[in-house]
Amino acid sequence: MKIDWFTVVAEIINFLILVWLLRRLLYKPVLNAIDEREKKITAQLQDADAKKADAKKEQDEFRKKNEDFDAQKKSLNDKAIADSNAEREKLIDTARNDANTLRSKLEQASKDAQESQEREIAQKTQEQVLTITRKALTDIASLSLEEQSVNMFIRRLKESKDEEKKQFTEAFKSNANTILVQSAFELPEKQQHDINDAVSGILKTNTSLQFKTVPGLISGIELTTNGYKLSWSIKEYLDSLEKSIAEKMKDQPADAAEKV
């Protein structure tokens, strides 16, 4: 059999042309279409995944917001309850403090009234005793009550203990310019001179005393210098008498209760 090479070559050329045409016009567009389709599907899948991720994110955010809202609501509710309890306790404490303050004021007012009454009674008693004492001394002696008070003060000054004299001397040395003598009555020059001599004898030096009248001492004399004080007055005896009477009156209910 004889081969027709022209026909073979022509067929080969036709086949190549056909393959080229198929590749050019059919196969390549199909592949491109398939690629585009795959890309589109991939993009859609990626978009779906992104939307799914966004949806999950929004869901998580929504859940977190709900949790935050619940937590905030609980916190506000707890705070409101705590504030309410605190305000109630504050009002109760304020009412209790006001009641205690009022009770304290009433007790203090009652105590002040009682002390004022006791001071008034004591003052009147002291004045009456002083009047009686002055009258008695005037009737039985040639010296007045004031003169007797000065004599008693000078006597107490001279008979003071060594320790008291030492304290007086040290106080005078540390502040030599101020020795004050206060009395419930104005002292005559002779009595001032006698007191000055007694003080100079203790200090062993000439002194200049400052005299001042203070009626509240109730027929008494008081010497002070730089914190040191030496005094004598009927008020001291009256205070001691008043204290003794008050203690006895305080013991009376207890004694009466024991007898019952």
Crossing angle for the helix pair 28-140 and 234-259, to the nearest 10 degrees: 110
Residue 98 lies in a domain: yes
Q: With 0-12 CB in 10 A as exposed, 13-18 as middle and 19+ as buried, what is 167? A: middle
Of 61, 88, 110, which residue sits at a domain end?
110
Report the C-alpha gap between 224 and 177 in whole angstroms.
12
Number of other CB atoms surrounding residue 23 within 10 Å = 12
Residue 132 lies in a domain: no
- Please tell me whether residues 149 and 251 are part of one structural domain: yes
Report the C-alpha gap between 195 and 203 in whole angstroms.
12
- Please tell me whether residues 252 and 151 are part of one structural domain: yes
pLDDT tens, 88-126? 888 888 888 888 888 888 888 888 888 777 777 766 766
On whether the CB atoms of residues 247 and 181 are closer than 8 A, the answer is: no
Provide mean pLDDT across the span 121-149. Answer: 60
Res 61 pLDDT > 80:
yes
pLDDT band at 140 (very low <50, low <70, confident <90, very high): very low
On whether the CB atoms of residues 222 and 233 are closer than 8 A, the answer is: yes
Residue 125 lies in a domain: no
Full domain range(s) for residue 209: 144-256
pTM over 0.75: no
Residue 37 lies in a domain: yes
Residue 115 lies in a domain: no
Residue 138 lies in a domain: no
The tally of domains found in the chain comes to 2
- Please tell me whether residues 105 and 172 are part of one structural domain: no
On whether the CB atoms of residues 207 and 200 are closer than 8 A, the answer is: yes
- Please tell me whether residues 87 and 159 are part of one structural domain: no
Backbone phi and psi for residue 232, each to the nearest 5 degrees, phi listed first: -150, 135
Of 86, 110, 134, which residue sits at a domain end?
110
- Please tell me whether residues 104 and 174 are part of one structural domain: no
On whether the CB atoms of residues 118 and 129 are closer than 8 A, the answer is: no
